Amino acid sequence: MNEHQHQKIPVGISACLVGEEVRFNGGHKQHSYIQRTLGQYFEFRTFCPEVDIGLGIPRRPIRLVKREDEVRCVDFEDDTLDYTDKLTASADAQAHWVGEMCGFILKKDSPSCGMERVKVYGPGHAPREGAGIFAARMMERFPELPVEEEGRLGDAVLRENFIQRVYVMNRWRQLVADGLSVASLTDFHARHKLILMSHCQKAYRRLGPLVASARKDNVFEVAKQYLPELMQALKERASRGDHVNVLQHIQGYLKEQLDAQDKEELREMLERYHKGLLPLIVPITLLNHHFRRNPVEYIERSWYMHPYPAEMALQNHI
């Protein structure tokens, strides 16, 4: 199955991560994996909120500070210069295009763009408990949007999770663009059920009945509830045990077709994957081999078996 679009997927990104010299010191933080690998599949829309609100290049750095129960973003040297409201307004002003993105990659530790664990300065200490002002506002307005920091992309599981969510969001955008209907929503859910099962059993059990309740007169209301719940569930990391459960479920579709030797080979493969001795791509490749010989339409059309272009090789590392 090769249904992945060749057209690049629109993804927002902190401008410094693709080499734009917009940082406070006039430099950048170009990220080779983002540029060379993800850039083959994603069409990046760059943005720097600090430049957008009129801070120069170079400029004095800014920081987050705790004032009573509120976090503010101020000049590092002169905390009477408060940029919080301007950064919040900047995020609101970008809503028209951010809402069209299928994901967003942010600069870690940034008081404007950091997704999490940004230093918040207070008397005598600076715990990493904050989020950048622009990033926090953007995530508040678009809670279903896949968001990640460039530093966390070094973790294979987090990297795969983020990219998978970007592709799911891209397919959702296409679904809506093509015209939402009960049939198209039902098909979308059916093709993502195994992915959902690998991430969150509770959401898997909850979203099935929700989709089944869709009718012509309420399909848009159902979809409005469905997408945030789906994307929230997909944020949960799929463990090796979760994947084994799904793979065993998939194997059940072959119980009449495989002989004892094939079944034993699959059992051993799943056990070795569960122990961390093999990557996920190995049992999936073997199962795809068996399904080419013994086609099952539901499995063939499931995005779990082909969640993104094989060239990305993400399943080689999880």
pLDDT value of position 69: 86
pLDDT value of position 161: 97
87, 134 in Cβ contact below 8 A?
Answer: yes
Residues of the chain with pLDDT under 50: none
- Tokens standing for 93? 């002003």
Give the side-chain half-sphere CA count within 13 A for 273: 28
- Tokens standing for 45? 């829309």
- Tokens standing for 273? 């994957």
Three-state secondary-structure class, residue 240: helix
| CA end-to-end span of the chain | 22
pTM higher than the cut 0.85 = yes
- Tokens standing for 280? 């996920």
pLDDT value of position 108: 97
Spatial CB neighbours of 140, under 8 Å, sequence gap ≥ 6: none
pLDDT value of position 4: 67
DSSP for 180-217, please give it. --HHHHHHHHHHHHHHHHHH-HHHHHHHHHHHHT--TT
